[in-house]
Amino acid sequence: MATFEEFGLDHSVMDGIDAMGYTTATPIQELTIPISMAGRDLIGCAQTGTGKTAAYLLPTMHKILQSKDRHSINTLIISPTRELALQIDNAITGFAYFTGISNIAVYGGGSGESFDKEKKALSTGTDIIVATPGRLLSHMNLGYVKFDKLQTLILDEADRMLDMGFFDDIMRIVKMLPKHRQTLMFSATMPPRIRQLAQQILINPESVNIAMSKPAAGIKQLAYCVHDMQKIPLLLEILRNMEFISVIIFSSTKVNVKNMEKELKRLGLSAAAIHSDLEQNEREEVLRNFRNRNLKILVATDVVSRGIDIENISLVINYDVPGDAEDYVHRVGRTARAETKGEAITFITTDDMKRFNDIERLIGYEVEKGILPAALGEGPPYNKNAKFERRKPSGGSKGGKPNFRGKPRSSNKPKQP
């Protein structure tokens, strides 16, 4: 593997890299940084946790420092979510500590004061703008945003942006940018619609693909075939009998997430939920507590399955099998980041077997199936040839709400994980 010294980065960028403790480049960084520094358009594809953010930030900062015009917006980074925008902005602040490069995150959900701060940065000039599409368009529609001297456009998590319906917003933004620019597109997956987008906004791009759609080698994967009513008892057995630094539990619906949070708190566990109904400051507080280890269990919808860089997550639990096989990779990719180890456990109901079979075909191997604790009884047998069935309300209770009152037959109260 290459060291960062080999890329010829500006010495102040190298000082930031050294201060953050990085020495060796990851494969995506090793292959894309030289392309980016050469000024070529680029499509970079690599799974979650492989270092894509630094892969585009480091050469971009190097080029900004070589630029003669430092009084305008040099680089625009578009990201799908507020959480990812903040993460990128924080990474810039760390890497650029010795450079004097200015940056700001532009995203919705803030106060009038934050909007005014964004307006000032967009109208007077800031080296790097990190923005979500909707918020950026709100500013651009008011007529004061100055992108006339923009040098670089970066699309991060491009596949997720298309999944979230941002294609039209992205094209509206691109039409208002200078045609002569460098464009970098980074994505965790590369479906046909991403290549179609690339054909419209990139010019003769280089393409780099690293280990597409494969969970990291350090993830120990396990799946349990369960009936709906066995989900919560199994979850509590796992949290009671295993010691983990931090746990993320993914569910496909806000209803499940909200009810699961209430039940885990009722049992005295250190848990909190994050979902789209929370205000931005509430979401940031939950994530901050989780990063600082003041919170051990995060219950979440897929709003955090991509783009949230939290180190040392030891366990990911898929309470529901994701509807998209690609999302499984992103969910389990929250653990075993940066060559560490972690575990991922998935609960599979009869209705989920077709979905999980699709996941196994995508990743290229079968995930080990665990044996349920004797106290929970037997689960359904795994059917590799299962056909798709419409998902029934989890828990089987009326009104579509999951039953979170189920308990293990063991009388022991769950301990703090």
Q: Which of 210, 242, 275 is the last residue of a domain?
A: 210
Ranges of the chain whose pLDDT falls below 70? 48-49, 211-214, 216, 302-312, 336-340, 387-417
Question: What residues make up the domain containing 281?
Answer: 219-400
Q: Which of 210, 227, 260 is the last residue of a domain?
A: 210
Let me know whether 13 and 159 are in one domain.
yes
416 found inside a domain: no
Let me know whether 144 and 92 are in one domain.
yes
pLDDT, residue 397, reads 39
pLDDT, residue 73, reads 95
Let me know whether 237 and 320 are in one domain.
yes
Let me know whether 71 and 192 are in one domain.
yes
412 found inside a domain: no
CATH of the domain at 387: 3.40.50.300
pLDDT, residue 213, reads 54
Let me know whether 338 and 261 are in one domain.
yes
Let me know whether 189 and 246 are in one domain.
no
413 found inside a domain: no
Let me know whether 164 and 275 are in one domain.
no
Three-state SS across the chain?
CCEHHHHCCCHHHHHHHHHCCCCECCHHHHHHHHHHHCCCCEEEEECCCCCHHHHHHHHHHHHHHHCCCCCCCCEEEECCCHHHHHHHHHHHHHHCCCCCCCEEEECCCCCHHHHHHHHHHHHHCCCEEEECHHHHHHHHCCCCCCCCCCCEEEECCHHHHHHCCCHHHHHHHHHCCCCCCEEEEEECCCCHHHHHHHHHHCCCCEEEEECCCCCCCCEEEEEEECCHHHHHHHHHHHHHHCCCCCEEEECCCHHHHHHHHHHHHHCCCCEEEECCCCCHHHHHHHHHHHHCCCCCEEEECHHHCCCCCCCCCCEEEECCCCCCHHHHHHHHCCCCHHHCCEEEEEEECHHHHHHHHHHHHHHCCCCEECCCCHHHCCCCCCCCCCCCCCCCCCCCCHHHCCCCCCCCCCCCCCCCC
Let me know whether 236 and 197 are in one domain.
no
406 found inside a domain: no
- Number of structural domains found in the chain: 2
Q: Which of 210, 235, 263 is the last residue of a domain?
A: 210
pLDDT, residue 182, reads 97
Let me know whether 120 and 166 are in one domain.
yes
Let me know whether 55 and 188 are in one domain.
yes
Let me know whether 241 and 151 are in one domain.
no
Let me know whether 224 and 314 are in one domain.
yes
414 found inside a domain: no
pLDDT, residue 401, reads 44
408 found inside a domain: no
411 found inside a domain: no
